[in-house]
Chains A and B, each alone.
Chain A
Amino acid sequence: MLSGLRNIIAKEVKELIRDPRILLGIVLVPLLMFPLMGFMIRTSQEAAMESMKNLSVAVIDLDNDVFAQNLTDFMEFYGNLKVETLDASSIDEVARDVQDSNVAAVIVIPEDFSENLTNGVRVELKVYGVFRGGGIAEGGAFSAVNSPLQYFEQRLVNQKLGEVWPDPDIVLNPIEISPKSIVKGEPVDVSPDTLFAVAMTQFLGFPLAIMMLIILAMQLAATSVASEKEEKTLETLLSLPISRFTLLMGKLTGSVIVAVLGAVATIVGILYYMGSFAFGASTQMMVDLSAIGLAPGLFGYAVLGLSLFVSLLSALALAVVVSVFAEDVRGAQALLSFAYLPLFIPMLVLMFTDINALPPTLRIVLLAIPFTHPMLAARAMTTGDYFTAIWGIGYVTIFTLAILYVAARIFATEKILTMQLRLRRRKIREE
Chain B
Amino acid sequence: MLFRTHFEIFKSIRALLPFVLGAFSLGLVIEVNELMKVFGKVKALDGLSFHVENGEIFGLIGPNGAGKTTALRIVSTLLLPTSGSVKVFNRNVVHEASDVRKIISYLPEEAGAYKNLSGDEYLGFMAKFNTPNKDELKTVVANAAEISGLGKRLKDKVKTYSKGMKRRLLVARALMNKPKLAVLDEPTSGLDVLHAYHVRGIIKQYVREHGVTVLLSSHNMLEVEYLCDRVALINKGKIVAEGTPAELKAKYNVANLEEAFAKVVHLA
Report which A residues bind B (CB closer than 8 A).
3-4, 7, 10-11, 14-15, 18-19, 231-233, 235-236, 238-243, 413-414, 417-418, 421-422, 425
Contact = CB atoms under 8 A, between A and B. Distances in A.
Contacts of B39: 418, 421-422, 425
Interface string B150-194: 000000010000000000001001000000000000000000000
B108 A11 contact: no
Interface in B199-226: none
B117 A11 contact: yes
Given A11-B114, A19-B116, A243-B98, A4 B129 contact: yes
B114 A15 contact: yes
Given A15-B114, A417-B79, A7 B73 contact: no
A18, A19, A417, A425 pick with most chain B CB within 10 angstroms: A18
Contacts of A414: 78-80
Contact of A239 (B101, B114, B128): B101
Given A236-B170, A240-B129, 12 more contacts: A7-B125, A18-B117, A18-B157, A233-B111, A233-B114, A235-B78, A236-B107, A236-B111, A236-B173, A242-B101, A422-B39, A425-B40
Contacts of A15: 114, 116-117
A164 B107 CA distance: 101
Contacts of B126: 236, 240
Contact of B121 (A14, A19, A425): A14
Contacts of A232: 108, 110-112
Contacts, number: 78
B148 interface: no
B102 interface: yes
Contacts of B73: 235, 417
B212 to A, nearest CB: 16
Nearest to A422: B40
A417 B78 contact: yes
8 contacts: A4-B128, A11-B125, A19-B116, A231-B114, A232-B112, A238-B78, A239-B77, A239-B104
Contact of A413 (B80, B110, B125, B132): B80
Contacts of B116: 14-15, 18-19
Nearest to A22: B116
5 closest pairs, A vs B, by CB? A18-B116, A239-B106, A232-B112, A231-B112, A235-B108
Contacts of A239: 76-78, 101, 104-106
Contacts of B108: 232, 235-236
Contacts of B157: 18
B79 A418 contact: yes
B251 interface: no
B11 interface: no
A231, A241, A243, A418 pick with most chain B CB within 10 angstroms: A241
Contacts of B83: none
A421 B129 CA distance: 28
B115 interface: yes
B77, B101, B112, B132 pick with most chain A CB within 10 angstroms: B112
A235 B106 contact: yes
Contacts of A4: 128-129
B130 interface: yes
Contacts of A3: 128, 132
A240 B97 CA distance: 10
Interface in B112-153: 112-117, 121, 125-126, 128-130, 132
Interface in B61-117: 73, 76-80, 98, 101-102, 104-108, 110-117
A14, A236, A242, A422 pick with most chain B CB within 10 angstroms: A236
